[in-house]
Structure 1
Amino acid sequence: MARIAVLGGTGYTGGSIVREAASRGHHVTSYSRNAPAEPVPGVHYVQASFLEEGAVAAAVAGQDVVVEALAPRGELAGQLEGIVGDLAKLAPEQGARLVVIGGWSGLRPAEGAPRFVEGDVPAAFRAEAEEMVRALEALEQAAPEGLDWLFVSPAQTYGSYAQGEATGRYRIGGPVAQQDADGGSAISGADFALAVVDEIERHEHRGHIGVIS
């Protein structure tokens, strides 16, 4: 079983990944500023701010996989790119794989086309989307030697506002956005977590991928 640290492990995405990984017997540590409303049995919970010196290094130490599922809002607004950069430097030293959870706006409508973030993103989400994409582009352009990294973008319709149902199905694609048979793009929190933990176990992809139902 893998030792997995989930940064942002009490949030919507991070919490789903924590539950899925723990249900399979992995050794899961959740890092978050807030205590969980409903702790998952067997999970080790650590309350921490990643703006504190040494917090990122402590989260990476001794792990096989580090999942970054933080949201660049509140005290972390403007900080996510730096945190991912620190994780990228520290992960190879520990022999850990880095999995970064991004957003749909980092995908492209077609090969070579501008990312969705460069288009009509609602003002309320633009700063977050742009920061996530900067973190992705830093990995694409200047990932440290020896870093094993994966950046995962969920479907367009994804989040606590549209939790959906657990179907046990998902599709993985590259950095070009996928659509379902009806031209939609959606995935539930449970199915997204299923895809992420399957990938942790199977280690089939590297770079930037997208996941939809």
Structure 2
Amino acid sequence: MARIIVLGGTGYAGGHIAAEAASRGHEVVSIARKPPVEKTDGVEYVEGSILDLDGIADQLEGADAVISTVAPRADMADAVPDALQALAERLTGTPTRLGVVGGAMGSLSAPGGPRLYDLGVPEEYKHEAEVGIASLELLQASEPGLDWFLVHPPKVFGSWEPGERTGSYRVGGDVVVEDSEGNSYISGADFAIAVVDEIEKGAHRRERFTVGY
């Protein structure tokens, strides 16, 4: 059993990850600035923020994995890279793995590139895409003592297309995952399976990977 901390654990990705981890018997702590409307059995809910690491230091201590699912929206729009950098520095040299949910736009469109971002991003999604890319770059530049992974969801991933749990997913390395018809999608529940599988198996050390159907 692992002790797993989910930052932003009441959001779409974070909520699914916390629920999946708890269903497997892991010790799960969901940290968010506001409590959820509905709570998941087996998940401990703590009010806190990635912006105040000292305030959640007791929760981070001894964790096997800390998963950041914090999105650069609203008052967090410009805060995520610096907050993630501070978190990465705090975990460097410890046995705690840092997992980050990135954006789809940082993944490659084909082996060798270009990135999805380089093919064009609608203006309303551009900032979030750029923060996701910056997050990947700071992890790649981190000290060797940080054990991290970043997972890119497919093109369609969010509460507007929640889908169902099928128990299946595919990993695409650096390349965005698409099906035979060019669709790029995964449900929140199956995305969470991929993340918790990575926590348990450690297949991607200091690297990113993509998932989808």
Deviation at 1:184, TM superposition (A): 1.1
Q: Please say if residues 103 and 128 of structure 2, whose CA atoms lie closer than 8 Å, have aligned partners that are also in contact.
A: no
Residue equivalent to 2:22: 22
Tell me the TM-score normalized by structure 2: 0.94
List aligned pairs for 1:137-148, cutoff 5 A.
137-140=137-140, 142-148=141-147
Q: Please say if residues 56 and 86 of structure 1, whose CA atoms lie closer than 8 Å, have aligned partners that are also in contact.
A: no
One-letter amino acid matched to 2:181: D
Residue equivalent to 2:116: 116
Q: How many residues align?
A: 212
**Structure 2: distance between partners of 1:166 and 1:62:** 31
List aligned pairs for 1:58-207, cutoff 5 A.
58-140=58-140, 142-206=141-205, 207=207
One-letter amino acid matched to 2:47: Q
Q: Please say if residues 107 and 175 of structure 2, whose CA atoms lie closer than 8 Å, have aligned partners that are also in contact.
A: yes
Between the aligned residues of both structures, percent identity stands at 46
Higher mean alpha-carbon deviation, 129-138 vs 40-49, is at 40-49
- 1:23-57 CA distances to partner (integer Å, 9 max, x unpaired)? 11100010101101111122111111333362464
Q: Please say if residues 53 and 87 of structure 2, whose CA atoms lie closer than 8 Å, have aligned partners that are also in contact.
A: no
Alignment partner of 1:144: what SS? coil
Specify every segment of 5 or more residues in structure 1 that has no aligned partner in the other structure, as ranges: none
CA RMSD across the alignment: 1.5
Q: Please say if residues 178 and 210 of structure 1, whose CA atoms lie closer than 8 Å, have aligned partners that are also in contact.
A: yes
**Structure 2: distance between partners of 1:59 and 1:81:** 21
**Structure 2: distance between partners of 1:3 and 1:169:** 24
**Structure 2: distance between partners of 1:3 and 1:53:** 17
- 1:156-202 CA distances to partner (integer Å, 9 max, x unpaired)? 11110111121111001211122111111110001000111111111
Q: Please say if residues 7 and 49 of structure 2, whose CA atoms lie closer than 8 Å, have aligned partners that are also in contact.
A: no
Higher mean alpha-carbon deviation, 157-166 vs 88-97, is at 88-97
Deviation at 1:112, TM superposition (A): 3.0
**Structure 1: distance between partners of 2:156 and 2:89:** 32
Specify every segment of 5 or more residues in structure 2 that has no aligned partner in the other structure, as ranges: none
Alignment partner of 1:136: what SS? helix
One-letter amino acid matched to 1:70: V
**Structure 2: distance between partners of 1:72 and 1:78:** 7
**Structure 2: distance between partners of 1:18 and 1:183:** 30
Tell me the TM-score normalized by structure 1: 0.94
Distance 1:58 1:123, change over 3 A: farther
One-letter amino acid matched to 1:95: P
Deviation at 1:101, TM superposition (A): 0.3
**Structure 1: distance between partners of 2:32 and 2:69:** 10
